[in-house]
Copies of this chain bind each other. A is one copy, B any other.
Amino acid sequence: MNGSKRINSLRVSPIRKLMPYAKKCEENGIKVIKMNIGQPDIKTPKVFFDAMCDFDFEVLEYMDSRGIEELINAFIDYYKNFDIEFEYDDIIITQGASEAITFIFMAVCDLEDEILVPEPFYANYGNFADIVAVNLVPIATKAEENFSLPSIDVMQEKINQKTKAIMISNPCNPTGRVYTESELKTVVEIAEKNDLFIISDEVYKEFVYDDHRFISMASFKNIEQRIIILDSISKRFSCCGARVGTVATKNKMLIDNMMKLAQARLSVATLEQFGAAALQRVDPNYIKNTLDIYKNRRDIILEGLSKIDDVIYNTPEGAFYTIVKLPVDDAEKFVIWTLENIQIEGATLLITPANGFYSNDTDGIDEVRISYCIDDTDIKLGMEILKRALEEYPGRKA
């Protein structure tokens, strides 16, 4: 009586793996500065909670599998801010972007089909791909080159008969890159040349710093049949717990296929959908203020990194993550060693070994992902801890 083998390939989240070490610190009264998580700390807009309390139906019923009309319309209106035009039938509300990813993979790929994805990539892309028996084919990008997409020729080498799509996260978790128009055009070119879908994860679209500009894949209107956008309210409105995301595409065949999946799971949680729909009424200053807060945090990280010797880092352009290459033998060992050995003002630091964002166990071994979903003071202290840890770590490379 054995369980299935297919789940064995799923990797434990690079974030969760270290939780026992962090827990032990906390049990010993040591504060853990958590620069590992993607859980925003900004207050969720009150209108979300108010809308849920205003719900006045007597029976909490299944909603339409596509999502409630108010919420679909809210997304349509929201996208207009980005000059993106989606219609009602182009959108399906999903249980977070997580479900959207599964729906897209299933709708695009048969068993063992392939999707290209720039690496490092969000660890759960890999898990969802394993779950639905799709192969992610990494396109290497490097810290030394600010994780720029390679030339079309390099990408072309990865394509074969089983390649069905190319997927990007823009702004990128985990690298903090915001892709340029020129890079996006390369993606379009490779898709057109090889008849691929383009899957664009745009959940961090509101978090773009300095002069960088977010360009939605949906703005390439002449290839709209190839474009699939996945999105979520989790990050921009600090409401990860709502589990409300969306998939949007002008491709009717894909939407029809994904609707079958949506119908099988019946519907998304009702009340959280009403809360999410109300977010359309949030004062635009909420997003502006949020962006200012994250930008300031990013600047603190940059200042901290500038004081540390021998690290390779870039200026994060978007999202609230950055990948940093450290002068260490093994980032996972380093992170654990730091938790166990370094404290400043009674606090230690938890960051994420970046290996989990690579498909190969031996890649990204000296890199970490640093996130900034905590307050300025803690970030400043976190960077001091990182500096000291790198100075004292026995596995430091020359």
CB contact list, A208-261 vs B, under 8 A? 225-226, 238-243, 251, 253-254, 257, 260-261
CB contact between A53 and one of B5, B52, B241 (< 8 Å): that residue: B52
A257 touches B7 (CB 8 A): yes
Closest to A50 in B: B53
* Oligomer copy total: 2
Number of interface residues of A (CB under 8 A): 73
Closest Cβ of chain B: how far from A6's Cβ, in Å? Answer: 5
A269 touches B253 (CB 8 A): no
Most buried by B among A13, A44, A225, A271: A271
Complex-state Cα separation, A355 to B252, whole angstroms: 28
Q: A7-B257, A127-B260 are in contact. List 5 more A-B contacts (CB 8 A).
A: A5-B110, A41-B59, A59-B238, A60-B239, A63-B241
Contacts of A41 in B (CB 8 A): 59
Q: Determine, out of A20-28, A95-103, A143-151, A387-395, the stretch whose residues face the partner at the interface.
A: A95-103
CB contact list, A314-338 vs B, under 8 A? none
The reply to whether the CB of A108 lies closer than 8 angstroms to some CB of chain B is yes
Closest Cβ of chain B: how far from A231's Cβ, in Å? Answer: 16
CB contact list, A1-42 vs B, under 8 A? 1-7, 10, 12-13, 16, 39-42
Pick 5 A–B contacts, CB within 8 A, sort by A.
Answer: A6-B106, A7-B106, A59-B239, A99-B265, A240-B266
User: Can you list, as one digit per residue, whether each of A31-70 has a CB less than 8 Å from chain B (1) or not (0)?
Assistant: 0000000011111100011001101001111110000000
Contacts of A6 in B (CB 8 A): 106, 110-111
Given contacts A53-B53, A195-B1, contact A267 B253 (CB under 8 A): no
CB contact between A257 and one of B4, B16, B108 (< 8 Å): that residue: B4
B241 touches A60 (CB 8 A): yes
The reply to whether the CB of A264 lies closer than 8 angstroms to some CB of chain B is yes
B48 touches A60 (CB 8 A): yes
Closest Cβ of chain B: how far from A43's Cβ, in Å? Answer: 5
Contacts of A238 in B (CB 8 A): 59-60
